Amino acid sequence: LERRIPAKQNNPKNLAELEALLQECWLEIPSEVYQKLVKSMIRRIDAVLKARGYLTRY
């Protein structure tokens, strides 16, 4: 969303416009992006466990 909103070049003038813009940008994100994030969760959880709660590259 952070990259998609400025790309719209449409600055919201109020909270309702911001909400509409966020929803529009959210719906434009391909489902493959979410699938990739879900698949990476095992790696991320494993990294946290190995680091015993300390910093990870994620």
Q: From the CB of residue 46, how many other CB atoms can be counted at a distance below 10 Å?
A: 11
Token look-up 């990294």 returns: 47
CA 23 to the chain's CA centroid = 13
pLDDT digits (tens, 9 = 90+) for 3-57: 888 888 788 999 999 999 999 999 999 999 999 999 999 998 999 999 997 888 8
Alpha-carbon dihedral angle through residues 41, 58, 36, 28, given to the nearest 10 degrees: 120
Q: What ranges do the domains of the chain cover?
A: 4-50
The predicted structure's pLDDT at residue 10 = 80
Stated pTM of the model? 0.59
The predicted structure's pLDDT at residue 38 = 94
The predicted structure's pLDDT at residue 1 = 83
